[in-house]
Chains A and B, each alone.
Chain A
Amino acid sequence: MSLNIKNLTVYYQTLKGDVQALEHANLSIADGEIMGLAGESGCGKTTLSNSLILLKPPMKLISGTVELDGKPLPITDMARMDEYRFKKVSIIPQYAMNAMNPTRKIGKMIEELLHSRRVDYSTLRTELTRRLELVKLSPDILDMYPIELSGGMKQRMVMVLSTLLNPSLLLADEVTSALDVSSQKSVSEMLVEFRKREFVKSVVVITHDISILYQIADSIMIMYAGQLAEKASTETIIHRPLHPYTHLLISSLPKVGVRYAEKRLEGIPGNPPLLLNPPIGCRFRERCPMAFDKCVEEPPFEEIEEGHFVACWKEPKSYAQA
């Protein structure tokens, strides 16, 4: 198992109280697995990903442990965690378009970053050039400033930089949402290519756009209001989802390629609860057509069949038939 998360709970501390952004997450990702992570905005996707690499105030770890490659990951220890960042866990952030220092030549910035991590730039230089060519970027861009690159070029540059030290786990947060359709396709194909070439072992692809996951993800995890709802192989999630939320989510997708989160889920009445004072128990229960008494307790995220996890009190089989 590449990544093992146990009972991870992370809150945001605000003046008005704790925002319960991630509750009791239990999750494993295998070596070489590309896992898609989907859900409406504010459901805790980015919180989950950030707590694996940069857990800092106002984020606060309430409970839980994370293991990477069999060793505990010191996610709350900013200093010790530095050793793991970039080398073991890396990220392609949501804001990849602005991720590079605007006043440094890209090559110079990479050199200074690597130097600060005590990695020799000169020995990596050939590999860097090779990878740039792989993503169809000319090595000349190392002599340019970020402002001289197009959005797609910056995205690919950040992909190459983030994976340069062959991390075990790559967190790719909304890598395609700022791009046009053709760049979206090529960027997501590059992610698969990177895994094939073992630049990265496992990848978590966070996205609004489920259609991207159809093409590249081995498995998909659905989150709702800070809780894990369901995880299974891509095939299963799309064709045989068990959680009522997943079911509604998938069936309310009019067509492949439509970004559902930008439209309200019209098939599901109501809004996600505010996470400042979320309801106890299953947080989806107020919108759930199948909710019953038991739902005031928090359902466990249980393995129903091999590789298929669901957090729902409803008898899975009876639901699947309904």
Chain B
Amino acid sequence: MTKGKKRNELLYFAFRNTKLKIGLGVVLFFIVLTFVGPLIAKYNPTDSVGPAGAPPSAQFWFGTTTFGEDVFSQFVHGLSSTFLVGIVGGGLGTILGMTIGFAAGYRGGNLDEVLNVLTNVVLTIPVLALLVVISAYVKVRGVMIESLFIGVTTWPWAARAIRAQTFSLKTRDFVDLARLSGESPVKIIFTEIAPNMASYLFMTFILMFGSAILTAATLDFLGLGPTQGISLGTMMNLAVLWSALMLGMWWWFIPPGIGITAIVGGLYIMNVGLDEIFNPKLREM
């Protein structure tokens, strides 16, 4: 089968796949909202602009907080830090996972042994507890620092998966051919191995993206999120801290949770769709 034909076929299945369409639709919706939201939102997210604890109304779509801040403005501004953590944290985790996975899988031998033990060690450490301890000591935290922490602690899962894939690819003819023609390992990895598992790497990134968002939400909820600015997790943190539960101010804590759940759930469903497209065996008949 020629390359063009194969791509056409993938697109053909992509357009037919309901899971991909739904998942991608939800994620795109929130991405658009991230960019358009701040333009629609009438208020600064941290300004006291209305009555305290007002339920949703025409003026304050998602109601207001105890301090009279507009929840909708907070929500759309919070979305951007959620996506930032996903891209940077998930991306960094994927890149580290790729580096270690490729090195271990392609080189094998002692390097593989060492990296494998390292991967398993970091995999066993309860990452969130570690992040909590680290974050607790850093007094000024930004979204980037948070993403960095998440990235450097969550790579092992990706490394394991990529290592296994590399292992099976490196014995294939075209890799042998490249090796015999004297190409360097780095070049072989990037020109022969990585392109042949591109779909797999992409799906790994999506999973890492989703889990980075969840991890960040938990950290933020524990009050260890960005010290300035707003995120969906800190919204939940403040809501609980200021007794939104007791006061029945559901509009304060429901939207951020729905936002996170929809984005991460959408990413996961999208991934199932992609899996079906790339693996013909899973396609529904």
* Residue ranges of A at the interface with B (Cβ–Cβ < 8 Å): 13-16, 57-58
Contact = CB atoms under 8 A, between A and B. Distances in A.
Contacts of B157: none
Contacts of A13: 285
B10 to A, nearest CB: 13
B200 interface: no
Contacts, number: 9
Interface of B: 12-13, 16, 283, 285
9 nearest A-B pairs in the assembled complex, by CB-CB distance: A58-B285, A13-B285, A57-B285, A15-B16, A15-B283, A14-B285, A15-B285, A15-B13, A16-B12
Nearest to A57: B285
A307 B12 CA distance: 47
Nearest to B280: A14
Contacts of B283: 15
Contacts of A14: 285
B9 to A, nearest CB: 8
A16 B12 CA distance: 10
Interface centre among B12, B16, B285 (most CB of A within 10 A): B285
Contacts of A15: 13, 16, 283, 285
9 contacts: A13-B285, A14-B285, A15-B13, A15-B16, A15-B283, A15-B285, A16-B12, A57-B285, A58-B285
Contacts of A57: 285
A16 B16 CA distance: 11
A16 B283 CA distance: 12
A57 B285 CA distance: 9
Contacts of B13: 15
Contacts of B12: 16
Nearest to B13: A15
Contacts of B16: 15
A215 B285 CA distance: 41
A57 B13 CA distance: 20
B19 to A, nearest CB: 15
A15 B13 CA distance: 9
Given A15-B285, A58-B285, 5 more contacts: A13-B285, A14-B285, A15-B13, A15-B283, A57-B285
A66 to B, nearest CB: 24
B133 to A, nearest CB: 41
A272 to B, nearest CB: 14
A319 to B, nearest CB: 35
A45 B12 CA distance: 29
Contacts of B285: 13-15, 57-58
A14 B13 CA distance: 12
A20 B16 CA distance: 23
B55 to A, nearest CB: 49
A152 B38 CA distance: 68
Nearest to A14: B285
A58 B12 CA distance: 19
A57 B284 CA distance: 11
B173 to A, nearest CB: 13
B241 to A, nearest CB: 50
Nearest to B16: A15
Nearest to B283: A15
B279 to A, nearest CB: 14
Nearest to A58: B285
Contacts of A58: 285
Nearest to A16: B12
Nearest to A12: B285
A58 B283 CA distance: 11
A14 B283 CA distance: 10
B50 to A, nearest CB: 53
A56 to B, nearest CB: 11
A16 B285 CA distance: 10
A3 to B, nearest CB: 29
A14 B9 CA distance: 13
A218 B284 CA distance: 42
A256 B16 CA distance: 48
A274 to B, nearest CB: 10
Nearest to A13: B285
A50 to B, nearest CB: 16
A110 B285 CA distance: 33
A16 B13 CA distance: 10
A13 B12 CA distance: 17
A43 B285 CA distance: 22
A179 B285 CA distance: 34
A15 B285 CA distance: 6
B11 to A, nearest CB: 13
A58 B280 CA distance: 13
A57 B283 CA distance: 13
A27 B283 CA distance: 34
A13 B285 CA distance: 7
A19 to B, nearest CB: 12
A15 B283 CA distance: 9
A138 to B, nearest CB: 34
A10 to B, nearest CB: 15
A179 B157 CA distance: 37
A287 B16 CA distance: 36
A128 B16 CA distance: 51
A139 to B, nearest CB: 37
